[in-house]
């Protein structure tokens, strides 16, 4: 084999290798962006609750919130349970008169209403007028977009200062947090930062089901 032939073979090999890497790049990016499950469908592994732990149970692939006020915080391995920019979604079903919520950018606390982060409302027919999809107390939804006793998908996207909430792919809230926002006393931590997720058990008369709880970090 002469020198020119050897150089030609080497060049062809390098081009082939480059093509393989280029072809693999989209797949690598896609794998990085995959949705990650926060709930195994069988147990509360990776989740932590303080007071009134009996409010939460698992049955038929669902987390059920039914009992005295309590909050179930995700403390599992996905992204070190610390999320800043993300997409989140869960399938939810409410019974008549029920109230619940999904907290974002929050942190574990033993009892009481979580002080840190925002609550995304779950409530189609409870006496509280703030309906499902509300960014509770910040940008509230009065309309009822989904029904009790029917599964619906609640989706939240946080990127930078923007929060988008969708119900069954319909946007119901598109909120941008003002720079250096100051909340009223008692709500000082109702701001974007980073943190985990929590599910709310509101009261003994509320019964709410959650399944297919997934997140896609955007960072």
Residues 139 and 176 in one domain: yes
Q: Please give the DSSP secondary-structure letter assigned to residue 148.
A: T
**Per-residue pLDDT reduced to its tens digit, 109-124:** 999 999 999 999 999 9
- At 70 the pLDDT is 98
Which residues touch 210 (CB under 8 Å, ≥6 apart)? Answer: 39, 62, 63, 64, 65, 90, 91, 92, 199
For residues 8-14, average pLDDT: 44
Mean pLDDT score across all residues of the chain = 89
Residues 17 and 105 in one domain: no
Residues 15 and 70 in one domain: no
For residues 39-67, average pLDDT: 98
**27: enclosing H helix or E strand:** helix 3-32
d(CA 72, CA 141): 24
- At 140 the pLDDT is 98
For residues 71-98, average pLDDT: 98
- At 1 the pLDDT is 52
Residues 104 and 186 in one domain: yes
pTM reported for the whole predicted model: 0.85
For residues 6-26, average pLDDT: 43
d(CA 209, CA 101): 11
Kindly tell me if the per-residue pLDDT of 152 is higher than 90. yes
- The domain that holds 92 is classified in CATH as 2.60.120.560
Residues 3 and 19 in one domain: yes
Residue 104: Cβ-neighbour burial (10 angstroms; 0-12, 13-18, 19+): buried
Residues 24 and 65 in one domain: no
- At 16 the pLDDT is 45
For 209, phi then psi, to 5°, come to: -115, 140
- At 219 the pLDDT is 75
- Residue ranges making up the domain that contains 164: 37-217
Residues 12 and 67 in one domain: no
Residues 70 and 170 in one domain: yes
**Per-residue pLDDT reduced to its tens digit, 158-213:** 999 999 999 999 999 999 999 999 999 999 999 999 999 999 999 999 999 999 99
d(CA 128, CA 98): 10
Q: How many domains does the chain have?
A: 2
Residues 70 and 86 in one domain: yes
Residues 109 and 152 in one domain: yes
Residues 97 and 125 in one domain: yes
Could you identify the residue written with the tokens 């200062």? 161
Residues 184 and 211 in one domain: yes
**Per-residue pLDDT reduced to its tens digit, 192-202:** 999 999 999 99
């Amino acid at each position: 084999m002469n020198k020119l032939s050897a150089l030609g073979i080497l060049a062809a090999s390098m081009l082939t290798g480059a093509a393989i890497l280029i072809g693999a790049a989209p797949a690598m990016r896609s794998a990085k962006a995959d949705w990650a499950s926060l709930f195994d469908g069988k147990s509360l592994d990776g989740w932590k609750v303080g007071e009134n732990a009996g409010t939460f149970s698992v049955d038929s692939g669902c987390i059920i919130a039914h009992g005295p006020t309590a909050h179930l915080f995700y403390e599992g391995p996905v992204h070190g349970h610390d999320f800043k920019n993300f997409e989140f979604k869960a399938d939810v079903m409410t019974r008549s008169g029920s109230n619940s919520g999904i907290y974002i950018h929050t942190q574990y606390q033993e009892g009481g209403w979580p002080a840190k982060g925002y609550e995304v409302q779950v409530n189609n027919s409870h006496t509280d007028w703030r309906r499902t999809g509300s960014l509770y107390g910040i940008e509230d939804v009065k309309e009822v977009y989904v029904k009790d006793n029917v599964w619906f998908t609640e989706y939240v996207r946080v990127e930078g200062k923007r929060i988008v909430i969708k119900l069954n792919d319909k946007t119901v809230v598109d909120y941008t947090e003002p720079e250096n926002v100051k909340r009223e006393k008692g709500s000082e931590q109702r701001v974007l930062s980073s943190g985990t997720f929590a599910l709310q058990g509101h009261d003994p008369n509320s019964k709410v089901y959650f399944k297919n709880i997934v997140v896609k970090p955007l960072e």
